[in-house]
Amino acid sequence: MKSTKEIPFTHALILAIGNKSTRQWRQNCGSVPVLDENSDIRYFNTGIPKGAADISGIVAPEGWRLEIECKALGRKRTAEQAAWGAMIVRMGGVYVLCDARDEPQDVAVARCVLEVGEAIAARRAKRSELC
């Protein structure tokens, strides 16, 4: 079986997950090289916090934050990524770790779309229990 690469997997998941009840986008992390006024290379931080998930979004109609961390086969979450996920859940959002197992990309994407839907449903059930 061909293993799924992380960036194409993330892009395919964004396209597959879009529907009327969520809006999501890719969050690029890290820095980009820029030339300063002396033509020296400097690095500009792209702005999102270290550990932020690969995909961010909003769940409608509730307005909950949606965060999805994507991992290719054999890749593990960092401590910062785990802390980010815990913070999102603690603050009432929805966090999902979607891993691309040793399976074709379309199978991994379909599985993760279901996992995201299940996480949103679980969050809605939790809200109902509190009311």
Q: Considering the domain boundaries, does residue 1 fall inside one?
A: no
What span, in angstroms and rounded, lies between the C-alpha atoms of 10 and 70? 6
Q: Considering the domain boundaries, does residue 46 fall inside one?
A: yes
Q: Considering the domain boundaries, does residue 105 fall inside one?
A: yes
Total domains in the fold of the chain: 1
Q: What is the pLDDT of residues 17-73, one digit of tens each?
A: 877 778 888 877 667 788 888 888 888 776 788 889 999 999 999 999 999 999 987
* pTM of the predicted model over 0.85: no
Report the CATH number at residue 68.
3.40.1350
What span, in angstroms and rounded, lies between the C-alpha atoms of 56 and 5? 19
Q: How confident is the model at residue 1 (pLDDT cuts 50, 70, 90)?
A: very low
Q: Can you give the pLDDT at residue 68? A: 95
Q: Considering the domain boundaries, does residue 43 fall inside one?
A: yes
* Full domain range(s) for residue 67: 6-130
